[in-house]
């Protein structure tokens, strides 16, 4: 069974440019999460999809970030325009259920560097 897949694994862009990150969750997982780790800091929650709907987007830093989950399958996270402070590792996770001690399965992350 394929795990959570993220693309690209690395991205280097200039300040002001646009970048789109993609996440393919485990098949059948309705719950999809985006997290981000800025260098030296903890991994922080960005948002949570249940199927195609945004359940919780309280962690999104600002309106330069746009997440979508077309048809409740894969998800994209677009940063436009990118700023230097957006650099970090973006993780995607998926789970079949939500809450409690449900395991969230993580992808390998996308390392974004804004120069």
Partner 1 sequence: AQSVTQLGSHVSVSEGALVLLRCNYSSSVPPYLFWYVQYPNQGLQLLLKYTSAATLVKGINGFEAEFKKSETSFHLTKPSAHMSDAAEYFCAARKAGYSTLTFGKGTMLLVSP
**Interface contacts to partner 1, rule CB under 8 A:** 3-4, 31, 33, 35, 40-45, 48, 55-56, 59, 91, 93, 98-101, 103-109
Nearer to partner 1, 32 or 79 (CB): 32
Q: What residues contact residue 101 under an 8 Å CB cut-off, 6+ apart?
A: none
Judged by CB, which is closer to partner 1: 17, or 104?
104
Nearer to partner 1, 59 or 61 (CB): 59
CB distance 43 to 91 below 8 Å: yes
CA distance linking residue 34 with residue 44, whole number of Å = 9
- Report whether 3 contacts 26 (CB < 8 A): yes
Q: Find the shortest distance in angstroms from Cβ 6 to partner 1.
A: 8
């Amino acid at each position: 069974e394929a795990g959570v897949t993220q693309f690209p694994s690395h991205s280097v862009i200039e300040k002001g440019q646009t970048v789109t990150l993609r996440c393919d969750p485990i098949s059948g997982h309705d719950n999809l999460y985006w997290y981000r780790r800025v260098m030296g800091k903890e991994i922080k929650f960005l948002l949570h999809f249940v199927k195609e709907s945004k359940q919780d987007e309280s962690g999104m830093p600002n309106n330069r970030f746009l997440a979508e989950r077309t048809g409740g399958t894969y998800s994209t996270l677009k940063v436009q325009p990118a700023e230097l402070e957006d650099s970090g590792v973006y993780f995607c996770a998926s789970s079949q259920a939500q809450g409690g001690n449900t395991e969230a399965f993580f992808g390998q992350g996308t390392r974004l560097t804004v120069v």
